[in-house]
Amino acid sequence: MPFKSLLCHVPPQADLAAHVQCAAGLADEFQATVIGLGAAAVPPFVRRSGGAYAAVDNQWLAILREQHDMAMEAARQVFDAATGDRQKTWRTGWAEPTVALTAAARGGDLIVVRRPSSSHPDRYTEVDVGPLVIKAGRPALVCPSSGSYLSDAPVLVAWKDTREARRAVADALPLLQRSCDVLILECSSEADPGPAMARIEDIAAALARHQVTARTEVLSPSGKTGEAILARAVQLGADLVVAGGYGHTRLGEWAFGGVTRSLLEQDRHFVLLSH
């Protein structure tokens, strides 16, 4: 099923909005609507109420509300500049961007986000990809910081025989169909590569029924799996890596698995993640 609605969080800074331009370009290909979301929240420590400082608190909150409205207007202008006269919808929210984007995902087929600026993004102004992928129920296309255009260059499917990887391949189908070359890669530590090859040949056969011609390869990396996948993506000339999003909660925070973390820390390839 082609993507018919592309959802993205829009920052108020134009130099942080390459992913919005990417969503606009994909919208042209799929004749889709771009849904832009401007959202930001206020840290709890500035939201006191009552007591001797109630009047000061109210004045401070009024200032913050005005700043929020100005930021949302700036974000809307960034969105309009990136999308032009395409079919689009604009929304704003007084909420953490990850929370707002997760809720808005019910109306989108694909979430398009910018690569996190750090492993601990500012939850009040930035999107945290980990909770988003796990909670949104939609695939997320994570764009490199300068990723304003996703080409039809080769795609590397980082296969692992799990529910998440199966979901990712199904979700990525519209992008696989537009690619000039698809490689399904499984990294295996098994002495006999036969079982791994049989698994990815099943995936290739399934994709062929959807007009996707895919090659298969089993790799036995000597080092870290994530680094091996990225090195192979570079060799392939891949623009996009498709993978399952793996991780767990630790002390109340989302912690990615090693491969997923490697894919998000690099800033060269687009990455489609599904959970």
5-143 against 155-274: fold identical: yes
pLDDT, one tens digit per residue, over 110-128 is: 999 999 887 788 999 999 9
pLDDT of 235: 97
Class of the domain covering 5-143: alpha beta
**pTM reported for the whole predicted model:** 0.92
Tell me what percent of the residues of the chain surpass a pLDDT of 90: 77
Taking only the tens place, the pLDDT of each residue in 128-148 is 998 899 999 999 999 999 999
3-17, 28-42, 48-62, 219-233: least confidently modelled range: 48-62
The yes-or-no verdict on residue 189 having pLDDT over 70 is: yes
Domain spans, the chain: 5-143, 155-274
Residue 63: predicted pLDDT = 84
CATH number at 155-274:
3.40.50.620
223/130 Cα distance (integer angstroms): 25
- The more confident residue out of 250 and 61 is 61
Mean pLDDT, range 236-245, rounded to an integer? 96
Using pLDDT thresholds of 50, 70 and 90, give the confidence band for residue 256.
low
Is the predicted pLDDT of residue 193 greater than 90, yes or no? yes
Q: How far is CA 236 from the centre of its chain?
A: 22
Structure-block tokens of residue 119: 């492993």
